[in-house]
Amino acid sequence: MFMRGNVVFYVQLLCLLALLLCFTHNPGKKGNNAPLRSQSLKAAPAALPGTHAGISLPARALWQAQEARECAQGTAAKWQFAGPDNIGGRITDVIMPPNDTNTLYAAAASGGVFKSSDQGKTWLPLFDNEASLAVGSLAVNPQNPDILYAGTGEANAGGGSITYDGTGIYKSNNGGVTWYQTGLEETGSIARIAIDPRNPQRLFAAAMGKLFANNPERGLYRSTDSGKSWEKVLYLSEATGCADVAINPQNPKIVYAAMWERVRKPHLRKYGGNTCGIYRSSDGGTTWQKLTGGLPQNDLGRIGIAISAANPLVLYAVYANETGNLKGLYRTNNGGNSWNSINARPLYNQYDDYGWWFGNLRVHPNYPDYLYFLGLDLCFSSDGGKNWRNLSAPTVHMDQHALFIHPLYPRLMVLGNDGGVYLSNNAGISWQSLAGPPVIQFYTCESNSKQQTYLYGGTQDNGFLKSSNNLSNDWEILIDGDGMELLSDPANPKMLYAAYQYGNLMRSFDGGLTFLDATNGIEENDRKIWRTPFVIDPLQSNVLYYGANYLYKSTDHAVQWYPVSPDLSNGNNTGNNNFAAISAIAVAPSNNDMIYAGTDDGNLWVAYNNCTDWIDITAGLPEQWVSSIAVNPKDENTVFVAFSGYRQADFRPLLYKTNNAGITWKPAANNLPEAPVNKILYNPSDTGTVYIGTDTGVFYTLNSGKNWQILGANLPAVPVTDLCLQLKELRLVAATYGRGMFTFELGNTAAKGIPSRQ
């Protein structure tokens, strides 16, 4: 362990070097076509980023964090990738150059852009130096495969799961080696980029907008100069974006756009409305006509469209309804003048009730009747939709988002879904999982001091994962599905607790080989959020606490639960999203009779006397989602609390501290970059040292939050959703939402001491 004098010296030295680097480093210089960014940086102890005046807060936060990350390169110890690279994560788009059967590009929902030159055997990240790694769409110039476009921000609006906005469109002129930002910074998310095959300088971008804020930048954009400038050519409202766009390849003046009305709030999601519809332009996008003949006119949700390259008069459209069910499939044989309903009955279960997660169709490049439908599975019709068969189940991961059919070799197909990238060389008869790229979205991480080589985590749609040997390729899936919190009993590491979405808690006595329900006593109708919190008492591992709108307690390893609080929320759950419930819990390690609990609607409470006395300590705090609570391990009255404004389009770092158990609070974010804080982790041996995971990386303080520094280098610009510790190795673990897990050797940094899980 470091001596304190050495710690202070090294911290001062690192800060000085980082500041000198920032003053001499030009973060915007990336070649002749560098993006426009602020050239000045704050002279802050943490070497944190510039102000970027004139850019909206979300985009500014991403630019700032990237500049801080650049400043840390070369002067700080590095994070190490811990995996998994043998299990894939959520993919939003896949493409191949038209004359190449080996090279493929994959866009990850929150992990960047990856390239493979060997049909997916190996992957190279291309996008790690950019401000946003949330990528929704890719396009390659059909006449010059070195020219690529990436649309940032994911248009697939989750139900409870997280999707992130981006910072516009990026372009590469060298096959993805370098990129530059080329506009549309404020659009939020880009659902599709379509390039004119005859004139590649002309392209369209379908902008779906920001997830949690209506914005006037939604709509369809056109560029006639390869993305140097953009013109909005189709706009309906601040709530309606463009979800899809298609160009007639034989007459590129004819363009089709699918518009989708989408509103999301913390308590509400409205994924449809009367402004949804399909529009056609016959003059290259200057004027538009809504298509109605034979198409549905009410109860409209997300729409996807696909055009036949062999016969562009043939188009297909898929409609979801407002609640996310499949509404219907439609075909036109005359370019959209009239439409006929086709057989969608075999596909109704393919959308379940979340059609807003899908919305894609593809047509075979040579046969107009060969139609591919992307839902839970990939389904195929060879007769224009009369009959269907499943091409993916049961061997392919569910939730299909992208399909590329090679135009010259159409038996070669690439599929992207929530489980990664799959390849078929026989037109979908069989599929090979390509394992990568390594873009798993972790919600949580967990380690146990008695099993130091073990790591656990809950993931988006890839279940609960376990690594036994600290290797990136030895991860295994314990249970499928959406994995949220997973905790390991500190006294008995074979006892695991794991919760699916909305608090469906299970317990394992055999290290995860089998799981049994562990919700006995918890009312089914209580309100529970997507990632329902539960914690183990740090002094009594048989005691657990579980958060619904009431706090529940178990004293027998989750065999039986009973409520120990009133409704801690405001009780206003008037929308259709699970809301008004506990979102964070912390038990004081120095006095386990003090329990802190926060809610998603901004309430904060402390309980005494075996949870019989509850005190509201919300005064002076923001009315936002409580994302994390950390109690000083040596002083139960000193607490950090973080609030996330992500679901209210507020991207400030809302971090507060109290020294008197919540009687008064003081802001503690100070010089943190503008991004929500997701996790707070105290250092028990030096309580002035605190680590936090934010939407833009990991930061730490050595002086109880007076100022903050970015921790280490080599961590991609992805949200960090959780932190934990491998105690024996003095190793900090970061769960990222989009690039797997990373570890950091605390002995290699001036950040002193050992953190503990709260």
Asked if residue 232 belongs to a domain, the reply is: no
Looking at residue 683, its pLDDT comes to 84
Asked if residue 308 belongs to a domain, the reply is: no
Tokens of 263: 């509103």
Q: Of how many residues is the chain composed?
A: 758
736, β-bridge pairs: 720
* Residues 103/107/108/109 CA torsion (nearest 10 deg): -170
**Pairwise CA distance, residues 360 & 437, whole Å:** 22
Tokens of 214: 């209506």
246, β-bridge pairs: 256
Is 754:730 a contact under the CB 8 Å cutoff?
yes
Asked if residue 341 belongs to a domain, the reply is: no
Name every residue whose Cβ is closer than 8 Å to that of residue 345 and which is 6 or more positions away in sequence. Answer: none
**Pairwise CA distance, residues 156 & 92, whole Å:** 8
Please identify, among 27, 62, 80, the residue that sits at the C-terminal boundary of a domain: 80
Q: What is the DSSP string of 398-465?
A: S-EEEEEE-SSSTT-EEEEETTEEEEESSTTSS-EE---S---BBS--EEETTEEEEEEEEBSSS-EE
Asked if residue 370 belongs to a domain, the reply is: no
**Pairwise CA distance, residues 739 & 730, whole Å:** 22
Bond into 394 cis (ω within 30): yes
**Pairwise CA distance, residues 31 & 26, whole Å:** 11
Looking at residue 74, its pLDDT comes to 59
Asked if residue 328 belongs to a domain, the reply is: no
The helix/strand/coil state of 609 is: coil
Is 290:236 a contact under the CB 8 Å cutoff?
no
Name every residue whose Cβ is closer than 8 Å to that of residue 534 and which is 6 or more positions away in sequence. Answer: 485, 487, 497, 499, 503, 505, 544, 545, 546, 547, 585
The DSSP symbol for 10 reads H
Tokens of 666: 């003081």
Looking at residue 65, its pLDDT comes to 66
Name every residue whose Cβ is closer than 8 Å to that of residue 749 and which is 6 or more positions away in sequence. Answer: 76, 77, 711, 712
Backbone φ/ψ region at 216: left (φ over 0), alpha (ψ -120 to 50), beta? alpha
Is 474:486 a contact under the CB 8 Å cutoff?
no
Number of independent structural domains in the chain: 2
Is 739:111 a contact under the CB 8 Å cutoff?
yes
- Return the biggest CA–CA distance within the chain: 79
Nearest to 115 by CA among 170, 177, 66: 177
Is 463:480 a contact under the CB 8 Å cutoff?
yes
Asked if residue 181 belongs to a domain, the reply is: no
Angle formed by the axes of helices 57-72 and 4-24, nearest 10°: 110
Parent domain of 674 = 446-748
Burial of 392 (0-12, 13-18, 19+ CB in 10 A): buried
Tokens of 596: 């802190």
Please identify, among 80, 105, 128, the residue that sits at the C-terminal boundary of a domain: 80
Looking at residue 249, its pLDDT comes to 98
Looking at residue 574, its pLDDT comes to 79
Tokens of 73: 């390169």
**Pairwise CA distance, residues 123 & 472, whole Å:** 14
Name every residue whose Cβ is closer than 8 Å to that of residue 368 and which is 6 or more positions away in sequence. Answer: 308, 310, 311, 314, 384
Is 317:330 a contact under the CB 8 Å cutoff?
yes
Is 10:674 a contact under the CB 8 Å cutoff?
no
**Pairwise CA distance, residues 405 & 100, whole Å:** 12
Nearest to 667 by CA among 702, 688, 641: 641
**Pairwise CA distance, residues 339 & 573, whole Å:** 40
Phi, psi of 12 (to 5 degrees): -60, -40
Looking at residue 62, its pLDDT comes to 67
Would strands 413-417 and 303-307 be described as parallel, antiparallel, or unpaired? unpaired
**Pairwise CA distance, residues 240 & 242, whole Å:** 7
Name every residue whose Cβ is closer than 8 Å to that of residue 660 and which is 6 or more positions away in sequence. Answer: 637
**Pairwise CA distance, residues 619 & 606, whole Å:** 13
Q: What is the DSSP string of 54-69?
A: TS-HHHHHHHHHHHHH
Looking at residue 727, its pLDDT comes to 79
**Pairwise CA distance, residues 400 & 392, whole Å:** 9
Asked if residue 464 belongs to a domain, the reply is: yes
Sheet holding 505-508, edge to edge: 483-488, 496-500, 505-508, 516-517
Question: How many other CB atoms are there within 10 angstroms of residue 510's CB atom?
Answer: 10
Looking at residue 730, its pLDDT comes to 85
Please identify, among 59, 80, 101, the residue that sits at the C-terminal boundary of a domain: 80
Tokens of 419: 């489980």
Residue type, 398: M
Tokens of 287: 């004027």
Nearest to 694 by CA among 714, 680, 683: 680
The ranges of the chain with pLDDT < 70 are 1-75, 748-758
Asked if residue 264 belongs to a domain, the reply is: no
- Cα–Cα separations (whole angstroms), residue 117 to 105, 114, 173, 511: 9, 10, 17, 39
**Pairwise CA distance, residues 110 & 552, whole Å:** 34
